[in-house]
Amino acid sequence: MAQPGLPGSQFPSEDAMMRMIKDLQRDVQQLRSANQLSPAGIRAIDGGIVVEGSMDVQGAESVSGTLDVSGKATFTGDMRVEGTLSLPNGIIDNAALADPLVPFAFHADAQNFALGNGDNLPIVSVTVPVPAGFTRAVVNATANLSAANSTGATDTLYCGLKINGSGPGYSGRAGVPPGVAANPSKTAGVLLTSLGSSFIIEGTASTAAAPWPANMNNNVNLDGTVIFLR
């Protein structure tokens, strides 16, 4: 039988064996220290990994600990939040909401007008423009009327509102003796739908028995707010 290291032996010599062992040890050490994922921007740190490049997760991903994102995160699909979602003030634009809100405030007034008897007639009005892309509005309006009865008999003074052509609810009213002024008012809130480019809010007034002539003491204020909805 051939002996190790001798001519014709099937075994390497002792020196060759030692070189092979050292080569294996060096290769193992290099494999341990080498970062095979560095071309992808992935590196190991104490207690975790750092991904400096992009990451495409095509399967399910579960995060049971804290997820901190200091850069941008884009979600092209649905996202469901089952816990509390806390957001700093002012980070979501109104236009990004499913139902953004646009506020509008209005005022109009009139003076020295006459009053007719019978149905309420407009004595002051505001035309409200509707912002592009909006079709609904919550309207709150108040008409405050002051008028003097310059006739010779007690009469009833009415104050009403018309919002987009409709007069919601009963008119405010006051009994007024001759030579006396009264101050009825009317407040209403409505939800308008299917709006066009604008709508009109009117303050209306009338008397019950007889017309009242124009008087410098007759005045009306029409005030309110509109919240537009998509």
The answer to whether residue 221 sits within a structural domain is yes
Averaged pLDDT, 89-96: 72
The answer to whether residue 122 sits within a structural domain is yes
| Distance between CA atoms of residues 46 and 31, nearest Å | 19
33 falls in which pLDDT band (50, 70, 90)? low
63 falls in which pLDDT band (50, 70, 90)? confident
Rounded to the nearest integer, the mean pLDDT of the chain is 86
61 falls in which pLDDT band (50, 70, 90)? confident
DSSP letters along 61-107, please?
A: ----S-----S-----S-----S-----TT-S-GGGSSS--EEEEEE
Burial class from Cβ neighbours inside 10 Å (0-12, 13-18, 19+) for residue 151 reads middle
Residue 180 has what pLDDT? 96
Residues listed for the chain: 230
The answer to whether residue 148 sits within a structural domain is yes
Residues of the chain above pLDDT 90, percent: 56
Residue 6 has what pLDDT? 53
CATH code of the domain containing 110: 2.60.120.760
Residue 179's domain spans which residues? 102-229
The answer to whether residue 211 sits within a structural domain is yes
Domain count, the chain: 1
Give per-residue pLDDT as tens, 93-121: 766 777 789 999 999 999 999 999 989 99
Mean pLDDT comparison of 30-44, 83-97, 188-202, highest-scoring range: 188-202
Residue 8 has what pLDDT? 56
The answer to whether residue 15 sits within a structural domain is no
Averaged pLDDT, 33-52: 71
The answer to whether residue 190 sits within a structural domain is yes
64 falls in which pLDDT band (50, 70, 90)? confident
The answer to whether residue 202 sits within a structural domain is yes
Give per-residue pLDDT as tens, 7-19: 555 667 888 888 8
The answer to whether residue 145 sits within a structural domain is yes
Averaged pLDDT, 76-92: 77
